[in-house]
């Protein structure tokens, strides 16, 4: 079977299952989808690329291993609810206090146990509601309906200016692939919110950002906001992973940008109309991308797999006709489109020939935050704030 072969060769199957058990076959065809997106990118940009292998690439850098119902990175857990299963992340510095608020308990050293107990005694819909109100990356595992775009006729991106506001993995992977295809990529951060991935594995960060320019601008300062708006006006492609109201506060409008002929990529967890937050592990599991052991218990598939799957898909969309469009790329929708309906909880097959994750080598060291601000603004004729 093509799907089984692609999973085995991706490294993601090797990351799926219990640490003391065999790799398990994930459901659906996400690894095959990743290869199809990479084939489209290669046709448009001439980049030889194994899309399936990108699904597990971060674990190759970090040494991540399969951990069953705990994610490869360790920050997300699969927990039983009153009426099903849920994925709950505790990855950010503020998450412990937010999770304690979600379960209406004082923050203490027993938080993990208290969260698991609360989730087990409440329906998934209540978890979703509270998580949305508190901006917690947690969700019940339940089918949802999304509109998912497919790439059109390939188009080159060589010499296009890409302004990348995104962070972590999905958006930066999209920008990285566009850069490999010849686009000029400018990563934009604010002084208050640098990319959190800078504090993770350095080699992996260098892989995604080496060869790009780094600009830091403060949208809270009028001059900084004007420079930010001028930079976007010069761009051919914008990549962002923010809520629309946040960008509106910067004076940026996706539809207006697209109406002027630019391509805008909006990567979200649950869609632009949703205020809910999510990361690669919880979104993937909540969207049905889980394997099941012989005891009927779910385990994570791969490492934050919604992120690279979405990054590949977003890059393929940018490298497609037409331009002048807002590509909405919800991670949940990308994952959900690769998972068969109805969801099955049958035990997953062992993957005897699963290969470990493989890492490419960074082409350059990523620049320090703001290292290229003056050069980029001068080159584009934008006054410095």
pLDDT at 273: 87
Q: Which structure tokens are listed for 207? A: 């892989």
Gyration radius from the chain CA atoms: 20
pLDDT at 350: 97
pLDDT at 107: 87
Percentages of the chain per state (helix, strand, coil), in multiples of 5: 40, 15, 50
pLDDT at 23: 98
**How many whole angstroms separate alpha carbon 67 and alpha carbon 141?**
19
Structural domain total, the chain: 1
Whether 57 and 50 have beta carbons less than 8 Å apart is answered as no
In sequence order, which ranges of 191-301 are alpha helices (DSSP H)? Answer: 202-209, 222-234, 244-249, 254-259, 280-286
**Could you tell me the pTM of the whole model?**
0.97
Widest Cα–Cα separation across the chain: 63
pLDDT at 56: 98
Burial of 200 (0-12, 13-18, 19+ CB in 10 A): middle
* Residue-number span of the structural domain to which 198 is assigned: 1-385
Low-confidence ranges of the chain (pLDDT < 50): none
pLDDT at 243: 75
Going 10 to 16 to 22 to 25, the CA torsion angle's sign is negative
**How many whole angstroms separate alpha carbon 315 and alpha carbon 302?**
21
- What are residue 189's DSSP bridge partners? 216
**End-to-end CA, the chain:** 57
Nearest to 1 by CA among 340, 357, 359: 340
- What are residue 329's DSSP bridge partners? 267
Question: Domain holding 222: CATH number?
Answer: 3.40.50.10540
């Amino acid at each position: 079977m093509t799907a089984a072969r692609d999973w085995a060769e991706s490294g993601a199957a090797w990351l799926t299952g219990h640490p003391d058990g065999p790799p398990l076959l994930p459901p659906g065809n996400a690894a095959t989808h990743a290869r199809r997106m990479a084939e489209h990118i290669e046709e448009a940009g001439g980049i030889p690329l194994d899309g399936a292998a990108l699904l597990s690439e971060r674990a190759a850098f970090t040494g991540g291993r399969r951990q069953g119902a705990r994610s490869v990175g360790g920050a997300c857990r699969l927990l039983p609810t009153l009426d099903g299963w849920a994925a709950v992340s505790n990855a950010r510095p503020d998450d412990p206090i937010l999770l304690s608020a979600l379960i209406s308990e004082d923050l203490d050293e027993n938080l993990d146990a208290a969260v698991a107990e609360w989730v087990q005694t409440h329906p998934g819909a209540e978890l979703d509601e509270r998580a949305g109100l508190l901006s917690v990356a947690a969700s019940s595992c339940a089918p949802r309906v999304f509109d998912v775009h497919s790439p059109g006729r390939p188009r080159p991106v060589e010499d296009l200016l890409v302004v990348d506001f995104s962070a972590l993995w999905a958006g930066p992977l999209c920008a990285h692939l566009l850069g490999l295809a010849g686009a000029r990529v400018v990563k934009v951060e604010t002084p208050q919110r640098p990319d959190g991935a800078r504090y993770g594995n350095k080699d992996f960060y260098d892989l995604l950002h080496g060869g790009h320019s780094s600009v830091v601008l403060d949208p809270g300062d009028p001059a900084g906001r004007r420079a930010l708006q001028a930079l976007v006006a010069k761009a051919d492609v914008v990549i962002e992973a923010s809520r629309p109201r946040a960008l509106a506060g910067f004076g940026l409008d996706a539809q207006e940008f697209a109406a002027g002929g630019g391509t805008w990529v909006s990567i979200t967890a649950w869609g632009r109309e949703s205020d809910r937050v999510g990361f690669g592990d919880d979104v993937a599991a909540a969207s049905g991308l889980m394997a099941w052991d012989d005891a009927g218990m779910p385990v994570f598939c791969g490492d934050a797999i919604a992120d690279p799957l979405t990054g590949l898909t977003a890059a393929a969309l940018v490298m497609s006709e037409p331009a002048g469009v807002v590509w909405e790329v919800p991670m949940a929708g990308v994952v959900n489109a690769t998972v068969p309906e109805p969801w099955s909880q049958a035990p997953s097959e062992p993957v005897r020939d699963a290969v470990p994750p493989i890492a490419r080598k960074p082409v350059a060291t990523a620049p320090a935050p703001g290292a290229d601000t003056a050069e980029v603004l001068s080159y584009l004729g934008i006054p410095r704030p």
